[in-house]
Every structure is written in C-alpha cells, then in structure tokens.
Structure 1
C-alpha cells in the first residue's frame, strides 16, 4: 500500500513514518522544507519526500497521486508563522477534500481526547470540527484521540530537573494518561489493516493517568536530584493569553496557553482501553509505561554525563605539564 504521511517531520509524525516503513509500506511524506534534519532522516530511512503546503491545494493534488491511504498528524506549532486556524482547519479541509477527490481508500486522523468538551480552546474546537467534516467526507476514516506524548515530558520535567532549573506547573493538577509516540504510531499504522476500525473514533491512552506532582517525584527518584517547583496561578496564564492575543505573531502562543483551561477543568484525561486493544488486535502488555520510558531516558543521559565527566578528567591529566621536555622525535631532552 502506498501511504502519504502528513506532518511526518513532527514528534509523532516521524514515528508514524518510521513504523510504516518498517511494516513494508511505500511511504511518501508531505514536507514544507526538505532540507530540515527531520526531512533528511525520513529520506535516509527510505521515505519519498514531496514539498508542499496544506494551504496550497495544487501541491496536495501532486502529493496524493497514486496514494491509497493517508495518515494525518500535522498541526501548527506555537512558533509557526501560520495560525492554528490556517493549518488545522483551512489546511485540513483542503487535504480531506483532495483525498476524497483522489479516491484515497483510508484516512487516519489524529485529534485530541475530549475535543468536543472544550469549545473555548481553539485547537480543541478546530479538531472537533475537523472530525465532523471528515465524517461527512465519504472517506473510510479512523479518528485517533490521544491526550499527551511522553516525549513532551522530557523538556517539561526531566531536563529542568537535571539542570537544576525551575519546573513550572499550574496550580491545578489534572491526571493525564500520556502515551509514547512509538506506541501511538503502532495504532495509526494498524488502523490501515483492520476493517473494524473504519468510520470509528478511538481514545489512545497510556497505562495510567499521572498528575504533574507524581511525574516530578518519579523524575527526582530516577535522577537523584530535587526539583525546584514553581506554581503558576491560572489567573496569570489567562492574563498572558489575553496579552499574546493582541499580536498576530503570538496568536499560536495564545492558543496554546488556552490549554491551561483543560488542565484547570479537573477532568482526568484518561479513558478505558480494553476494547481499543481488542479492536486493533494489539497487546496492551507491549505498551510502554511512563516509568520504563523515563527510566530508559535517565539511564542513558546519566551514563552519558558520567562519560563526559570522565573525558574531562582524562583531558586534564593529559594537559598537566610534565617536568621533562621532549624532542620532536619524542625522546627526552
């Protein structure tokens, strides 16, 4: 099967593309910049790259030529020049229309868990509207709804704790069932192979939901360092959201800050997964736990830090002055 991955240079997208290649799919990736390191990595693995933009329907026609299935993981980043509305709504409408016109057999879309419950959060509202648009498109779709990536916890908690920098958390702490992007990729690719997943929506949750304080405690135990915790009042986040909304170049930052409302809701971001594993034919015992994910990260990083410290000490020994002088041939003077 020939597959188009949209958003293949992102944290999740690159894992989806890699998994699909490992499963024997012919993978094409729509990229805005083929010269990015992530694009080069995709090409190195065997993916075909095609330059294009979700906002340019002409490039989508070219990207979809000969394509049988699409896995859509694209989303606007906070640093993008384009807004969430331009990428996640206008761009996705273009893509879904183009896929339907091209006769694409299967379409897998990544949304967000509980998107319909937060109409005041821009990305959540747009994701929900896209789900509805996709359901009416005539495509054989599957909608996957994760709530958080384990990979994001590294920069949010692990790195600051290792560097003895402040860890910022909101006053409220909502339990979130994070999942490893490699596991999410398994579900995305598997959806293409299982007819029972057609025209259905599935939550994708990790093995358990974690509060921020619990994740910090785990990082402290694994790193041997104490976290410097700072709590950000919800009132301050709401104020910052209003301020960043004044400027066009900070719209995406403002929209991301709106996620604080999700965390303040007190509603755990979690859902039962037994029926999901059964539908996809996957083994829940093979799903990565947060404990094992962070254990692996800290083991590797601490080992590397020890090696670097050893190298520094070794270099100092070599740089110590010797009481003897040597000739050019190495013999002592």
Structure 2
C-alpha cells in the first residue's frame, strides 16, 4: 500500500513511518523541510514537499497514494496557530484526500475530546472527527491520551540533572502509551476492515498520576526528586496573560489543559475490545515501568562509562605530571 504520512517528523509520526516501512509499505512523507526530515529518507521513505496550511501543495503530494496516516499537530513553539494547523489544515487535507480518491484515512485525535469544549485543541480535534466522519472517506480515528516519550523530559531528565520537576497541585492520572505501540495500531488499521468508520481509544496498560511517576523514577534512578507544585490558578492566569500576545497563543492554548488536570477524571479507557478488533496482543504492549526501566538502565550505564573514562584520563594526566 502507498502511504502518505503527515506529521512524520514528530514524536509519533516518525514511529508510524518506521513501522510502516518495516511492514513493507511504500511510504511517502509530507514535509516542509527536507533537511529536518533527512533521517526519514535514510530509513527508506520518499520525501515530498507540502504544507497543510498551503492547500495547493497537497494534491501533488497525494498523486499515487492510496492511504493517509495523519499524525500532524501544531507545536507550542510553532508560528502557526492550532486553528490554522489542526483545523484549517486538516480540513484542506481531508478535502484533498476526498478529491484524490484516497481509500483509507487514519486520524489521531485525543481521548475524551468531546468532554472538554473549552480546551482549544481538544475541541478542534472533536470538530475534525465530525468533519472526517461526514467526508465519505473510509476513516479510522485513534484516540491516544499521552505518550511515554514526553515523560523523559518532564520527569526523568530533571531527576538525573538534580533540577526541579514542575507539577500542578491537582493532577489527573493518564494512561500513557509508547509511541511505538501507538504506531502499531495506526498501521494495522490499514489492513483490518472492521476498523473502517470506527473510533478507538489507544491508551496504555494503566493510568499513572504525577506522584506515582516521580516515585517510580526515584526508585529506578536511585536519586531523589526535587518537586515544585504549581497551583492551577497560576496556570490559568499565565494563560490569560499569554493570550494578549500573538506569539503566546499556542502556549496559551496548551496551558488550557489545566482544565483537564482540574477535572480529576483519569484519562484512560478499556482496551480489551480494541486489541481484539485490531488483532494485536496486549502482552506485547510496553508498560511504563518497562519503558522507564530501559531508559534509566541505558542512561545510568552511559554515565558510569563516562565517569570511568574521566577518571582514567585524570589518572593518566596525573602520571604525566609526576614524570616532570
């Protein structure tokens, strides 16, 4: 199958591309910068120039394509807004896909998006779900809620570097999933007719709260965390201030997730039926314990090797000094 992957340089998109290539699909990646996407070409993907916010660039990129996996989303540091990328851009892509006769469209939304209309990204994701469902395309909507990869910078690195971990006073437990596992569902959906015109949660084995993750990182690293707790009111105030500046709009929209944290409702869902429909083995899904264990094992081993090399270098330098 010939695939166009949108958002292929992102944390999730690159794993989707890797999985699709490993399974023998012909992979084409829509990119704005060939330089930033060079690693995808090295993997075996074809790079095509295009931009969701430039509708005229989409039809040429879709020539000869049979399916789309859409993992794109605006980033907090982007110059473009969430509305421009995640709504206007996606509408343009869906319309172009319909005109090109695309056979399958896989879209990543967010779990429980319909429950938070005041959170811009979640509301836009829900509107895109509805637009896609009415498009006439054979779609599959996947709804993750958090990626394990994001926990490294949020928890693991600060602990190792003895920096503060910032958490809110109220936290919602989240069923994080490894992006490699999320990618399995996206690629598998292409070959499972039962997933057509269906919406499925794609979440981890259990929901984890911030304190649980911190305790796990402390145990695996052997180091104590420095935790700074922020009141939700402060995040709300920061969001309102950021809205005054155009450069802060994406940041403000992301800070609106404070309302999700304030809900105290775990972001998780039952996956039993989902695994059955997709024909995947739940035992092969990475747990958060295993993911962080692997990370800390590799990092701590590397740190020990560096300490050994530094000690060895110092010892040699000392011997040279004694000779003179």
TM-score, shorter chain, exceeding 0.5 = yes
User: What is the match of residue 194 of structure 2?
Assistant: 196
Q: Give the whole-Å Cα distance in 1 for the aligned partners of 2:202 and 2:321.
A: 63
How many equivalent pairs are there? Answer: 323
Higher gyration radius (CA): 1
Q: Are residue 312 (structure 1) and residue 320 (structure 2) matched?
A: no
Instruction: Compute the displacement of 1:184 (Å).
Output: 0.1
SS where residue 92 of structure 1 aligns?
helix
After superposing the two structures, state which structure 1 stretch, 284-293 or 308-317, moved more.
Answer: 308-317
SS where residue 226 of structure 1 aligns?
coil
Q: Give the whole-Å Cα distance in 2 for the aligned partners of 1:266 and 1:216.
A: 18
Instruction: Compute the displacement of 1:324 (Å).
Output: 3.9
User: What is the match of residue 145 of structure 1?
Assistant: 143
Q: Are residue 237 (structure 1) and residue 235 (structure 2) matched?
A: yes
Q: Give the whole-Å Cα distance in 1 for the aligned partners of 2:280 and 2:322.
A: 67
When the two chains are superposed, the root-mean-square deviation of aligned CA atoms in Å is 0.7
Alignment map for 1:109-124 (pairs within 5 Å): 109-124=107-122
Q: Give the whole-Å Cα distance in 1 for the aligned partners of 2:308 and 2:201.
A: 46
- CA offset digits 1:145-175 (Å, max 9, x no partner): 0000000000000000111111111111211
Instruction: Compute the displacement of 1:205 (Å).
Output: 1.1
SS where residue 315 of structure 1 aligns?
helix
Structure 1 runs of 4+ off > 3 angstroms? 322-325
Q: Give the whole-Å Cα distance in 2 for the aligned partners of 1:323 and 1:10.
A: 53
Q: Identify the match of residue 270 of structure 2 among 251, 269, 272.
A: 272
Instruction: Compute the displacement of 1:58 (Å).
Output: 1.5
User: What is the match of residue 18 of structure 2?
Assistant: 18
Alignment map for 1:154-173 (pairs within 5 Å): 154-173=152-171
Q: Give the whole-Å Cα distance in 1 for the aligned partners of 2:27 and 2:49.
A: 14
- CA offset digits 1:245-289 (Å, max 9, x no partner): 000011000000001110110111000000000000000000000
- CA offset digits 1:75-115 (Å, max 9, x no partner): 00000000000000000000000000000000000000000
Q: Identify the match of residue 79 of structure 1 among 72, 77, 80.
A: 77
- CA offset digits 1:219-248 (Å, max 9, x no partner): 000000111111100100000000000000
Structure 2: state its 5+ residue gaps.
none
Structure 1: state its 5+ residue gaps.
326-333
TM-score by length of 1: 0.96
Q: Identify the match of residue 47 of structure 1 among 45, 60, 71.
A: 45
Instruction: Compute the displacement of 1:40 (Å).
Output: 1.2
User: What is the match of residue 5 of structure 1?
Assistant: 5
